[in-house]
Amino acid sequence: MPEETVHVCLLMRQFWPTLAGAAERMRRYAPGLALRGVRMHVVCFWREGLPRTERLEDGTEIIRVERAGSPQDADISLFRQAETCLRELPAGRRVLQTNLLGTHTVKHISRISGQGIPVVYLGTMNEDESTKSGMLRRWLRDWRLRQLFRPFAAAVVGSEAMMQWLVEAGVPASRVHQIGHGVDLSRFRPAADTDVKRALRKELNLPENAWVVLFVGTMTERKGAHLLVEAWSRIDKARSQGVLVMLGAFDRPTIVKTDQREELGLFQEKLRRLMAPLVTSGTLIHHEHSPNIELWMRAADLLILPSAKEGVPNVVLEGMSSGLPCLLTRFQGFPEDELGKDGEHYQIIERSVAGVEQGLAQLQNDRGRQLRVGASALERARGHFDLNLTLESYAALYRKLVRQG
């Protein structure tokens, strides 16, 4: 006899069609979870032009709340809506999952937890490394983290590094669950042969014989977009026949503080000026939105992500699953245990203009190395990133939590 459906109320500031890493990951997981008896109900902020409520094809229900007041007040409005959502779901089969963690949310999480509803924290990135602060500051940070986690039944993280960060801060290891990020290997896969790759490039308006470098991410300083564009401007494209494809938006709805938006605006203004001559010459192609990321990966020769801070970046897993050699910086929270070995499954470069330029030049001039790293990355992906393993782990955790109450 099939088990009863588990209902997960997913509370996040942003959700589809806004592309935010953890939210997009859960959206992609939703259809597979539905097949395993887990239904998603999303509470997020509303944006102009979007419906207040929506039901996706897989059955995921989205409730969008208007953002008002201070950032803290806005978050609290999300929790109030989540409580309404939970009241309408079957008792004994409800879970709240969120990536919000702060002193202003503790009482709301505690109230929900006190009703016997398990609350799951969805970890995305580590905080700043403790070595950068003094002993007293580290103690206070760890003490605060333990208090914030008291009402949570579980925390889900994607990497060993994130799990270690929480456990070392004093969060009970029994409540921290490492579930690897999954990739749909039927969607993200290499081109079957050179003819398929050639046809894809024609479809995407890419030069047939160019060396295509792909960047997927927002146009922000953290992602290193400026380093890549400046390095690309120094490379002799005429000799290399290179084309840089950048897929990512300038708009950042996840940033709401006035000072941060102003700082981002100044950064992006400089970035646009740097990109403009490369776009005009045809050596840089930029698209704000692309629903078919997998096609660009199949058509590319290389993926690059010169980021400063990540959790387990979806785009790298997808690139490796597409058989691409990946050039990465050793960002804060680097998930080495998950991605494999430097020089075998990916290539580490220095996070600087010179480092990006050198890394690109070295890999382009060594075709054999490109092929070896890409093949190793694909093998790693097939053995570690299978979406089905991730979905089974999430479904099992939700069922365990509702049984425990």
Q: Higher-confidence residue: 202 or 141?
A: 202
Tell me if domain 6-182+386-404 and domain 194-384 are identical in fold.
yes
Asked whether residue 179 carries a pLDDT value surpassing 80, the answer given is yes
The residue extents of the domains of the chain are 6-182+386-404, 194-384
Say whether pLDDT at 162 is over 60.
Answer: yes
Q: Are 271 and 226 in contact (CB under 8 A)?
A: yes
pLDDT attached to residue 127: 58
Sheet bearing 176-178, strands edge to edge:
53-55, 61-65, 38-45, 6-11, 94-98, 119-122, 154-157, 176-178
Q: Tens of pLDDT along 302-332?
A: 999 999 989 889 999 999 999 999 999 999 8
Look at the domain 6-182+386-404 and name its fold. Rossmann fold (3.40.50)
Q: What is the pLDDT of residue 11?
A: 97
- Percent of the chain whose pLDDT exceeds 70: 95
Structural element, H or E, at residue 368: helix 367-384
DSSP string, 59-94: S-EEEEE---SSHHHHHHHHHHHHHHHHHTSPTTSE
- Structure tokens, 392: 């089974």
Going by pLDDT thresholds of 50, 70 and 90, the confidence category of residue 130 is: very low
Could you please report the per-residue DSSP string of 117-146? --EEEE-----S-GGGS-HHHHHHHHHHHH
Q: Which residues contact 379 (CB under 8 A, 6 or more apart)?
A: none
pLDDT for 95 equals: 97
Residue pLDDT, tens place only, 67-103: 988 889 999 999 999 999 999 999 999 999 999 988 8
The pLDDT confidence band at residue 1, using thresholds 50, 70 and 90, is very low
First to last CA, the chain: 22
Q: Which two tokens stand for residue 253?
A: 């709805």
Q: What mean pLDDT is reported for the chain?
A: 90
Q: What is the pLDDT of residues 232-256, one digit of tens each?
A: 999 865 556 899 999 998 876 666 5
CATH topology of domain 194-384: Rossmann fold (3.40.50)
Between strands 61-65 and 53-55, the pairing is antiparallel
Single pTM value for the model:
0.86
**Confidence band of 333 (pLDDT split at 50, 70, 90):** confident
What are the residues whose beta carbons fall under 8 Å from the beta carbon of 206, sequence distance 6 or more? 200, 212, 243, 245, 285, 299
pLDDT tens-digit readout, 244-287: 999 998 876 666 577 777 888 899 999 999 999 999 999 999 99
**96 near 13, Cβ under 8 Å?**
no
Q: Which of 166, 124, 120 is nearest to 22 (CA)?
A: 124
pLDDT in tens, 353-401: 999 999 999 998 898 999 999 999 999 999 999 999 999 999 999 999 9
